[in-house]
Amino acid sequence: MVKGTRWLAPWKDSFERPVIYHCVTRVVERRLAFGQEEKEKLRTFMRMYENFSGCRVLAYCLMCNHVHLLLEVPPMVEGGLSDADLLKRLRAIHGEALVAEIAKELAEARKKVRDGLADESLVSRIHERFTYRMHDLGEFMKALLQRFTRWFNVKHERTGTLWESRFKSVLVEDGIAAKTMAAYIDLNPVRAGMVTDPAEYRWSSYGEAMGGGPKGNGKKARAGLVRAITAHKGGEADARHWAGRVSKEYRMLLLEEGQEQLKEVVTEAGKRVVKVVRKGLNKAAVNVELAQLQRSRDVAMSRMLRSRVRYFTDGAVIGSREFVDDVFRKCRQRFGSKRENGARKWRGSGAAAAGMLWSARDLQKGIG
């Protein structure tokens, strides 16, 4: 048995290594509570707290009664934030009047330090009033969900909790695990029968990435997906790297046929938009990349991602065998005394990923 439902990386307090989590939270009683306005507001709050906290949303999907986030928690800058950086982050969630008060307080504290009337701890205490909520999984989710709940309750004239329980989190390795998890998240509306093409669903990372121009809202979503796909190669969250091979490979993973191309065009209004150009289903027209993709089992992976795979939400830790075993060794107390290693092979509906992805939980029921 693996003890507990919340997983935090053993290295979460490191100044060097980021952590990636898949977080899932559901509306109380699984009610279909979110329409277009609710999803738009939730996404707005998500971006606000992303800018405040320093955490990065790599992929997301806002459904009618639950939310998926692939969240990267980078380490805090060693030595802390500068005063300017702290104030910039505060502007993401607070009004200018409050930020001005804090700026004044910092300036006065800095003057006392220069005049020898106080030491640096005076400034540090001001920073710590806010920085404890940054670069932290629990604080990010708590702030986001509480802020949205307050808005939702006022709008719908209700009181009480909105979420059925504490959110679940799965620790995810960068590389193939993060890329596959992102695809699983973006395919939620396809599995639910809401759309046939994930690009058509506005409230997901892929739908947002495909719907906005370089200077539009899509830039943040594209940057997150680039990071999810290339983090293991040292890739930064840079939307400029989305065009070309990165976006094509990701779309080929999302779509079983893999015979669609992305093309950037300029509209009459001068706006640059990424469009999907569909090719015919003539097998002879499949390019060399698709043939390589089929040989590498990505087509089988794409089919798997269109099914419900419990490992993505209940696997506790997901990644390579080495990654899961390493977490097992560092969190040995969370496992039964008779257990010898951490990695468990995927079965059932997750069988297409067996040998590439492993989990810390050996799921016995409901895996397809």
Cβ–Cβ < 8 Å for 294, 153? no
**Do residues 234 and 223 make contact, with C-beta atoms less than 8 angstroms apart?**
no
Tell me which residue has tokens 């469009």.
275
CA nearest to 323, candidates 221, 214, 170: 170
Q: Where do we find the tokens 């191309």?
A: 261
pLDDT at 14: 72
CA-to-CA separations, 235 to 206, 249, 252, 260, in angstroms, rounded: 18, 15, 20, 25
Instruction: Tell me the two tokens of residue 9.
Output: 């990386």
Packing angle of the helix pair 83-90, 121-131 (nearest 10 deg): 30
Per-residue model confidence (pLDDT) at position 159: 94
What is the mean pLDDT, run by run of 10 residues, along the chain of 368 residues? 62 81 94 94 96 96 96 90 96 96 97 94 96 95 97 96 92 93 94 90 93 70 92 77 83 64 51 48 40 51 79 90 90 84 87 87 65
As to burial, measured by CB atoms within 10 angstroms (0-12 exposed, 13-18 middle, 19+ buried), residue 29 is exposed
What are the residues whose beta carbons fall under 8 Å from the beta carbon of 219, sequence distance 6 or more?
Answer: 212, 239
Question: What residue has token string 């590389």?
Answer: 175
Q: For residue 138, give Cα distances in angstroms to 70, 212, 284, 327.
A: 14, 30, 51, 19
Dihedrals phi, psi of 111, to nearest 5 degrees: -65, -40
User: E strands, 65-173, where?
Assistant: 66-73, 168-172
CA 31, CA 163: separation in Å to the nearest integer?
10
Comparing C-alpha atoms, which of 358, 368, 227, 351 is closest to residue 297? 351
**Cα separation of 9 and 315, whole Å?**
14
CA distance 364 to 358: 14
CB 118 within 8 A of CB 68: no
Domain ranges of the chain: 83-131, 175-306
